[in-house]
Each structure stands twice: as structure tokens, then as C-alpha cells.
Amino acid sequence: MPVADLPWPVPFEHSFAERLPGCYQPWQPAPVPAPRLVLFNRALAEQLGLGDVATPLLAEFLSGRQLPPGARPIALAYAGHQFGHFNPQLGDGRALLLGEIRDTSGRLWDLHLKGSGATPFARGGDGKAALGPMLREYLMGEAMTALGIPSTRALAVVATGEAVQRERPLPGAVLSRVASSHIRVGTFQFLAVRDDLAKLRDLADYTIQRHYPQLRAEANPYLALLRRVLEGQAELIARWQAVGFIHGVMNTDNMSIAAETIDYGPCAFMDRYDPATVFSSIDHGGRYAYGEQPRIAQWNLVRLAECLVPLVDDTDEEHAIALLTEELNRFPDVFARHWQRIFAAKLGLRPSSAGVDEVTVSLIHRFLELLQKEAEDFTLAFRRLASHLRGTDERDLGLEPIPATWDPWLQDWQRHIDATGEDRRRVAARMDACNPIYIPRNHLVEEALAAAQFAGDLGPLQALLARLEDPYTARADSIRYSQPMPTDWGPYRTFCGT
Ligand code: AMP
Ligand code: MG
């Protein structure tokens, strides 16, 4: 039979299940009455070699009503610090890993269902997911991917035909998610808290082999593992900061060892620039506020380092701690290096071989202070600067001229740009290529989700997705997608995706 005629043309691998017994429970998805494919990520499906699977079969396979041939579903175990409090037993309460598949370029991906029924890790939860939050995760993952930010991605959202009970009954859905892996800081914590050194070493070895194979040659691969995760997370968070993304629930169980954005719950993009911005309704103390994200990432990495102590040196704990601490202490510098480089580019400035110069760093900080003082829209501010540099009126693209209050900063910035000798229009073009004009604005996301959930109308969601998939190209027909939230809208509150 030609491959395309097979019901499921790609073989599953089960490296996690085979290598890491004790880190999961085999489990079956709950039956769903009437699966219906709501969103399907065709580009991702093609990348995975799944482009030719027939739609009715996709609804069956990606809702868990039937298992795709070769799938061996498991619920992953993990622990985690949630808002600073340790819970030794979390795990996939409503999710299952079907297995791993290789994409057309040979890269291995986890294929995972979310909302597929209660597992032994459900802790009283119903194991289900509502359509709205699953569509939200789809949208956010695609937006982040188009922004060049490492992220898990949704393959599909399938409505189950079943109501899930929240504050009121809501339509149920299953999200299928693709990730480099689902290994979290909390996966390490799960084994470390159980003092299972052999399994912990297996997990670290597996992680290195899967994500960072070059580390096997290092003198101390486990120390190098912390370094690599730290570097990946520092860059990831710098990229979040650069687009105003607020994850909202940076618990250690929601931090990926592969340094991808994972577990979209109460996340949202910041409108006006304010480092204290928090959207999540449960984040009362602002622990996961925009401006706290770098500090929290480092805090989470300290938790990972604690797990690695016996692997780094199993005879001399103090020595292991000293080595790991030295790595952890690099975080602020590594983060600052990425942050400065990315924000310099947002302002059209290029680092020299020695890095970002002091004048540029001070321009970045002064600009952010200005945005905060003037309560300016973060996303549009950078596009307006580029527009100003071009010297053309771009109000037809929704870009308002810059107010006189920016003048002192503006003059310093332009002087610095002009000193490079580069043509202003070229600088502006470079800025536009790294400053999105379309982000998932909260009022648009809510509008699209309400239409999809309660009126069965996917039009607004598709229209929004189309802009988010090409976030840097300003379109004259799309002003409503770039404009700040209406003044009578908000304050915005988000909820965990339960
Ligand atoms: P989250 O904050 O969404 O990452 O979830 C934290 C933990 O709660 C994870 O272990 C989830 O699997 C679990 N969980 C969340 N919602 C549910 C649900 N409806 N049923 C069972 N477990 C859930
Ligand atoms: Mg989670």
C-alpha cells in the first residue's frame, strides 16, 4: 500500500516510554461521543508527514476516540513548584503522550493529547478541556512560532460533542500538541524528591541524548546540561520580553528542558508598557508579572540545579553545589546579553563585535521608561519609530505620529542611528522585520474565541490567525488587528486553562 493510503502514514517511536519506566503511567483516552475537527494545522501536518490523513480519521485519532496505529498512550509524571510551593506529585492529569514521530527532516517530536480524560494524576480534576482554552492554546502557539519564538504547537483542535462543566457548561475539546519533548524541570524534581538517583541519571542521559547530544563529550555532561538549559531559557525569556508575552504561570512543571514555550494557560500579551502587568486571575502577588519573568526563570533553574547535585558530583556535594552555583550566577549576564541584543535590534541598532554599546543600552532603558510614563502601547511604539524614521505619514496603517514628549529621546536615538551612516529607510525596514505589528491582542482573542465557542463561527479566529501568521507585514486592510484595545475594554483577566 502506498504510504498516503495508510490511515496513519507515520510510525510512532516510544523512546521516552522505553527509556524511562517509572516516569509515567500507561493510560487510555476517555471515549468522546461526537468528535469534529474544528482547527487543523495543515502546515504542521505536512511537516510531520500527516498531510494526507483523511479528515474523519483525524477527528477520531486526534480526539483519542480511536488510537492512531502504533500509539501507546502514557500520562507523564512530574512534580513541581506551583507559585513557590512544592508539590511532589503532579503529572498529566488530563493529557496523554501518544508517542514520538519524526518529521520529514528527521527531527523527533512528541505528539500529545490534552483534554483526553482523567488520568491517575488528575487529583480530582475531570480530565477534560473546554473548547475556548484549547483554541486559545492553538492561536498562541501559532503566534509565537510566527514570531520566531520556540514554542509547542497545536496540530488540531477537535470538539468532542460533549459538554464540560466549568462555572457553566461549555463545549468540550481535545487539543493535539506537538513539542520537542514534554520533559520539564518538574520531571527532574519528580525523581530527585524520591531520591531515585539511577532513574534521575537515566532521565538526564535521555535528555542529553534527545536535546543536547553534543554534551556527551563534555567532562561533566550534567553540569553542561544545566548550562545549556540556562542559555536556552535566558534567550527564550528575552524573546518573550521583546514581544510583551506574559506566560502567567511559570511554575517549574511548566518550564521545558528543551527551552520551548509550553503550557499556555492564562498567558496574554501586554498592551501598554508596564513591567508590573499581570493578567492571571490567580496571580495575586504578581509573582509572574511581565517584569518578573527573568527572575522567575532563574529561580526555576535553581530548582533544576538542586536536582542535578548528585549527578554533578556524587561524592562531594559541596563541590557539586559550587559548580552549579557558578553556572546559575551566569544567568543575569546571559539574559542581559540576549535582551540587549534583541532590544537593540528593535530600535534599529546593531551590536558591534564587542556586544551592545553603553549608549545603546541606555537608549533602550530610557525608551522603556518613556513608554511606561506615557502609558504607550508597547507593540506599536516600535513600529511608530520606524515609521518616523521613514518620514512618511503612515496613519493609513494605523501608525500615529510620535508626540512631542518623545522629542529629547528621539533626538538622541536619531543621532545614534545617523552616526552609523546607514540609510534611515534601511534601518526602518530592519526594524519592521523584527517588530511585529500584529500580536494576539487580548480584545481580539476574546472576540474570536467567543464567536467560535458560542456562535460556532470560526471566521474571526481564522481572520486573526491569518494576521498572526504573518506578524511583520503591515496591511492597509487590517488596521483593526493592530490597534490597541478600546479604552472602554478591560481590565483584562485570564484564567488557567481548565
Ligand atoms: P497547568 O497549570 O494547566 O499546567 O496544570 C497543572 C496541573 O493540573 C497539571 O498536572 C494538569 O495536568 C492538571 N490539570 C489541569 N486541569 C485539569 C483537569 N481539568 N483535570 C485533571 N487535571 C488537570
Ligand atoms: Mg502545566
pLDDT value of residue 30: 98
pLDDT value of residue 354: 85
* pLDDT > 60? residue 103: yes
More confident residue, 6 or 253: 253
pLDDT in tens, 126-147: 999 999 999 999 999 999 999 9
pLDDT value of residue 353: 82
Does residue 395 fall inside a structural domain?
no
Rounded to the nearest whole angstrom, what is the distance from the C-alpha of residue 254 to the centroid of ligand 2? 5
Q: Domain count of the chain?
A: 2
* pLDDT > 60? residue 164: yes
| Cell numbers given for 349 | 541598532
Mean predicted lDDT score pLDDT of the chain:
96
Give long-range contacts, CB 8 A cutoff, 24+ apart: 221-226: 222/308, 222/311, 222/312, 223/308, 223/312, 223/323, 223/324, 223/327, 225/308, 226/301, 226/304, 226/305, 226/308, 226/324, 226/327, 226/328
Does residue 360 fall inside a structural domain?
no
* pLDDT > 80? residue 403: yes
Q: Is 161 annotated as a binding residue?
A: no
Residue 92 CA, closest ligand 1 atom number: 12
Does residue 432 fall inside a structural domain?
no
Q: Is 172 annotated as a binding residue?
A: no
d(CA 408, CA 395): 23
Residue 78 CA, closest ligand 1 atom number: 10
* pLDDT > 80? residue 497: no
Rounded to the nearest whole angstrom, what is the distance from the C-alpha of residue 61 to the centroid of ligand 1? 22
Does residue 242 fall inside a structural domain?
yes
Q: Residue 214 phi/psi, 5° resolution?
A: -65, -15
Is 250's C-beta closer than 6 angstroms to any atom of ligand 1? no
Sign of the alpha-carbon dihedral angle for 17, 263, 444, 467: negative
Residues 207 and 173 reside in one and the same domain = no
226 within 8 A of 346, measured Cβ to Cβ? no
76, 87, 94, 119, best to mutate for ligand 1 pocket (most atoms within 8 Å of CB)? 94
Taking CA atoms only, the protein residue closest to ligand 1 atom 23 is: 93
Residues 21 and 73 reside in one and the same domain = yes
Residues 115 and 29 reside in one and the same domain = yes
Q: Which of 288, 312, 344 is the last residue of a domain?
A: 344
Mean pLDDT, residues 231-257: 98
pTM of the model: 0.97
Does residue 316 fall inside a structural domain?
yes
Q: Is 42 annotated as a binding residue?
A: no
pLDDT in tens, 149-163: 999 999 999 999 999
pLDDT value of residue 329: 98
Cα–Cα nearest to 432, from 372, 395, 469, 380: 380
Provide the pLDDT confidence category of residue 6 given band limits of 50, 70 and 90: confident
pLDDT value of residue 59: 97
d(CA 383, CA 386): 5
Residues 169 and 199 reside in one and the same domain = no
Residues 127 and 260 reside in one and the same domain = no
Q: Which of 128, 161, 182 is the last residue of a domain?
A: 182
d(CA 36, CA 173): 9
Residues 44 and 172 reside in one and the same domain = yes
pLDDT value of residue 352: 82
Report the percentage of the chain scoring pLDDT > 90: 95
Rounded to the nearest whole angstrom, what is the distance from the C-alpha of residue 130 to the centroid of ligand 2? 16
* pLDDT > 70? residue 207: yes
Q: How many CB atoms lie within 10 A of CB 383?
A: 23
Q: Is 263 annotated as a binding residue?
A: yes
pLDDT in tens, 346-374: 999 998 888 899 999 999 999 999 999 99
Q: Is 19 annotated as a binding residue?
A: no
Q: Is 384 annotated as a binding residue?
A: no
Residue 119 CA, closest ligand 1 atom number: 21
Tell me the sheet residues that pair with 256. 184
Does residue 313 fall inside a structural domain?
yes
Provide the pLDDT confidence category of residue 5 given band limits of 50, 70 and 90: low
Residues 155 and 9 reside in one and the same domain = yes
Rounded to the nearest whole angstrom, what is the distance from the C-alpha of residue 298 to the centroid of ligand 1? 24
Determine the residue type at 153: R
pLDDT value of residue 192: 98
Q: Which of 288, 315, 344 is the last residue of a domain?
A: 344
Provide the pLDDT confidence category of residue 148 given band limits of 50, 70 and 90: very high
Rounded to the nearest whole angstrom, what is the distance from the C-alpha of residue 249 to the centroid of ligand 1? 12
Provide the pLDDT confidence category of residue 394 given band limits of 50, 70 and 90: very high
Residues 157 and 193 reside in one and the same domain = no
Residues 14 and 106 reside in one and the same domain = yes
d(CA 446, CA 279): 13
Does residue 295 fall inside a structural domain?
yes
358 within 8 A of 426, measured Cβ to Cβ? no
Taking CA atoms only, the protein residue closest to ligand 1 atom 22 is: 93
Residues 164 and 222 reside in one and the same domain = no
Is 485's C-beta closer than 6 angstroms to any atom of ligand 1? no
Looking at the annotation, which residues are catalytic?
Answer: 253
Rounded to the nearest whole angstrom, what is the distance from the C-alpha of residue 361 to the centroid of ligand 1? 40
Is 126's C-beta closer than 6 angstroms to any atom of ligand 1? yes
Residue 124 CA, closest ligand 1 atom number: 21
* pLDDT > 60? residue 63: yes
pLDDT value of residue 3: 47
d(CA 152, CA 260): 6
Residues 178 and 191 reside in one and the same domain = no
Does residue 335 fall inside a structural domain?
yes
Mean pLDDT, residues 103-122: 97
Residues 204 and 248 reside in one and the same domain = yes
Is 249's C-beta closer than 6 angstroms to any atom of ligand 1? yes
* pLDDT > 60? residue 283: yes
The bound ligand whose nearest atom lies closest to the alpha carbon of 137 is: 1
Domain that holds residue 24: 3-182
Mean pLDDT, residues 269-295: 97
Strand 245-246 versus strand 80-82 pairing type: unpaired
The bound ligand whose nearest atom lies closest to the alpha carbon of 82 is: 1
Q: How far is CA 394 from the centre of its chain?
A: 32
